Structure 1
Amino acid sequence: MDETSFPRVELDERPKLDAQELAFPKSQSGITDDDALNRHVKHSSGGVQEFWQLGYRLFNSSADTFPVPFVAGDAFDETFLRAVSPYYTLPKEPAPPLSSLTNLTPLLGLVSAIHVSSFFHLFDEAHQLQLAKSLAGLLSPLPGSMIFGAHGGLPEKGLQIGEDDQSKVGSYMFCHSPESWGELWNGQVFECGTVNVEAIWKPGIG
């Protein structure tokens, strides 16, 4: 297969972040030097759509045979996903055609299954709560609707401290326990008693 037929994605381009953009990664990684942190931050802004197109070629597919729209965005950006309280009754507005979506806000209260994995533990406790509230606003109130996935965790809620083999700099990752994870969703995000939360922690997975 001719590799030149695939879209070119530059993986080694790492635009430098400014001081404001570096503040949060600094607080989470323990790396205080700007240049060192820039070497560790993978900035992804232009290659996502190219990977989607590459997937079509790899699986001999197309937008016609696999008509699943791909909508890239920032879950913390209000213009992409407006944060609202969870829905306890169905929205009056019908679901929009998925092909028309440019952000996720039109789907508020309409999504029956949301898969999120290897994601929550990338953020501190406050941002995890913010993310959970944003996702909860998407969930349909119909019985059986669910948010599911796997994330880094601990048997007891707190910081998981590790060491980067390359930088030898300590890294800190906030992790929920099964108990605190349940309390997050059943009480802080959704009204207590309105949802069922199932969570387990497995050693070696996180």
Structure 2
Amino acid sequence: MASSLNDHSIYYRITEDEAKFLKGCTGITDDDELKHHILTVQAEAYALGKTRKNAIMLDIGCCFGNDSRKAISDGFPLSNVLCTDLRKGFFDIGHKLFKTTPKTFPLAFFEGDIFDTEFTYPYPTTTKIPNLSALENIGQLKGQVSVIHASSFFHLFNGEKQQELAHILAQLLLTQRSIILGCQIGAPTDEKALATTGDYFDKIFSPKAWKELWIGKNGPFKPDDVEIHANVRSFTVDEVLGATGTGDGEYYWLEWSVLRK
């Protein structure tokens, strides 16, 4: 999937398996709509890596690191991208998948539990950009990250932990013109969100409730400090293996971004 955002044939260069994966992640089934969605969202996020000196991208719950690799292929400096996950196993397999090595593609990785205070202890904010390959703690990035990517991640936790996660990530962002974006299982209304919870997901959100998570009474931001976009797309259970639904055949994917003004 390595191609430029200016190359409008990007979608037609991905494999059938990659297309299936992206459709499952986004809930978009139309080929042209998928292509447009990917280019639009990536253009906003990846432009920061080209226009802002020393812009840092953090990929939370990175798995194989494929999203970070796509950002890098679109122009985000490799040396300014950091992947994190609970374990390094999938990330290592990512090198095998993309036929790279830590030497030929030195993408930084930090292993740990995002909720472990030893992993995210908030260091004093500094303007000095740390070496991402030599971090002792993610908290060293406090107030320095331009882009945080968190897809298929929030819905792994209960509501209380998701609120805590929002605060953890918010403190890492630059004070202005920085963004957190991602996607996860969601629902169009609070009622359907309640009906969708079950064996797989303890707490999912409607777009309205998701915005409240960030700017509500217990949120990390004030309403005037951020611009939040959140919407849902329907999909079939066959498109995302193991997803749960409302019981009426409707399934939804929540796509969102939180832009710090």
Change (3 A) 1:67 1:172: closer
Shift of 1:130: 0.5
Match of 1:56 among 88, 95, 105: 95
Q: Given the superposition, is the C-alpha separation of residues 49 and 124 from structure 1 closer, same or farther in structure 2, using an over 3 Å criterion?
A: closer
SS in 1 for 2:194: strand
Other structure's SS at 2:164 match = helix
Read off the aligned partner of 1:103 and give its amino acid letter: N
Report deviation, 1:108.
1.0
Structure 2 counterpart of 1:202, from 233, 236, 251:
233
**Distance (whole Å) between structure 2 residues aligned to residue 83 and residue 99 of structure 1:** 18
* Rounded Cα–Cα distance in structure 2 between residues aligned with 1:50 and 1:201: 31
The alpha-carbon deviation at position 83 of structure 1 amounts to: 5.8
Q: Structure 1: where are the runs of 5+ without partners?
A: 1-46, 164-169
Residue 43 of structure 1 is matched in structure 2 by: none
Say whether the 8 Å CA contact 1:161–1:171 is kept in structure 2. Answer: no
Residue 125 of structure 1 is matched in structure 2 by 159
Aligned to 1:148: 181
Equivalent runs, 1:4-43 vs 2, <5 Å: none
% identity of equivalent residues: 36
Three-state SS of the structure 1 residue aligned to 2:152 is coil
Structure with more strand by fraction? 2
Gapped regions of structure 2 (runs ≥ 5): 1-85, 235-250, 254-261
Q: Residue in 2 aligned with 1:72?
A: 111
Match of 1:180 among 209, 227, 248: 209
- Letter of the structure 1 residue corresponding to residue 194 of structure 2: L
Contact 1:80 1:105 in 2 (8 A): yes
TM superposition score normalised by structure 1: 0.63
The structure-2 alpha-carbon separation of the partners of 1:96 and 1:116, relative to structure 1 and needing over 3 Å to count, comes to same
1:72 alignment partner AA: E
d(CA) in 1 for partners of 2:115 and 2:202?
A: 19
Which residue identity does 1:205 align to in structure 2?
Answer: Y
* Counterparts of 2:94 and 2:201, CA distance in 1: 34
> Is the 8 Å Cα contact of residues 87 and 112 (structure 2) preserved in structure 1?
no
Alignment of 1:154-193 (within 5 A): 154-157=187-190, 158-161=193-196, 173-187=202-216, 188-193=219-224
Determine which structure has the larger helix proportion and give its number.
2
Q: Structure 1: which 4+ aligned runs deviate by more than 4 Å?
A: none
User: Is the 1:186–1:197 Cα contact (8 Å) retained in structure 2?
Assistant: no
In 1, Cα distance between equivalents of 2:96 and 2:205: 39
